[in-house]
Amino acid sequence: MDLKKLEELIRSCRKCPLHKNRTNAVPGEGGFKKRILLVGEAPGRNEDIQGRPFVGAAGKLLDSLLGEVGLSREDVYITNIIKCRPPNNRDPTDEEIHACTPYLNQQVELLNPRIIMTLGRFSWAWAAERFGLEYRKLTDVRGKVFRVSTLLGRFSVIPTFHPAAALRRRELTDLIRDDFLTLREELSYYEGASSEEGRDPKTS
Ligand code: URA
């Protein structure tokens, strides 16, 4: 299985009832040049129409947060916990999450990221469970760097708020901005380590 095949599989998925009302499933996309994986919650209306992640207002904010730290969609892969839009953008249910996260887990395996940044509480909950991190509420862990070592290798998990939350509560924007600076610093750690030692710390 390669990433393109997995994306095709996701586009035709019928594992949960969300497929019935979708226009498009949204597998994810991005150039992934810096091996950063961003994980949001679920497609909204614009994403459902276009079949692409974060193309609405939250996506604009995400693009500008990336831009402020010198990154773009060419550097990251962006996906979601849930690949199809829940009706009226309601929270995903446990059943939907259970049906859909095997795709995300496969994406992680195929992509082999150095850094996973989770956007919002659902993706943080997924990462905590998946990588054996102690679950604490998002406000307590946002902006922290969790360096994990699993059978997949070593990588860092950085939780932050969902950009849509910052659109509703402007005071969160500066906190998210700080967390993107942390992402940039963590990337420098990996880049420094790989150029100094001639190897990537993830695979050492
Ligand atoms: N919100 C998300 O969590 N994901 C998207 O793709 C768009 C908005």
In this structure, is residue 105 part of a structural domain? yes
Q: Is residue 51 part of a domain?
A: yes
In a domain, 204, yes or no: no
Examine residue 201 and state whether it is found in any structural domain, yes or no.
no
- CA angle 84–156–117, rounded 5-degree value: 35
Could you tell me the distance, in angstroms and rounded to a whole number, from the CA of residue 183 to the centre of ligand 1?
A: 19
Q: Which atom of ligand 1 is nearest to the CA of 58?
A: 8
In whole angstroms, give the CA distance from residue 135 to residue 137.
7
**Residue 156 region by backbone torsions, left for phi larger than 0, else alpha for psi between -120 and 50, else beta:** beta
Residue 113 lies in a domain: yes
CATH number at residue 19: 3.40.470.10
Tokens encoding 27: 């597998």
Q: Report how far residue 142's alpha carbon sits from residue 124's, in angstroms, rounded to the nearest whole number.
A: 9
Q: How confident is the model at residue 196 (pLDDT cuts 50, 70, 90)?
A: low
pLDDT in tens, 153-192: 899 999 999 999 999 999 999 999 999 999 999 999 999 9
Taking only the tens place, the pLDDT of each residue in 40-74 is 999 999 999 999 999 999 999 999 999 999 999 99
pLDDT grade, residue 194 (50/70/90)?
confident
Indicate whether residue 80 lines ligand 1 (CB < 6 A).
yes
108 in any annotated domain: yes
Q: Give me the domain span that covers residue 51.
A: 3-194
Whether pLDDT at 197 is above 60: no
Number of domains the chain is built from: 1
- Segment 72-91, tens digit of pLDDT: 999 999 999 999 999 999 99
pTM: 0.94
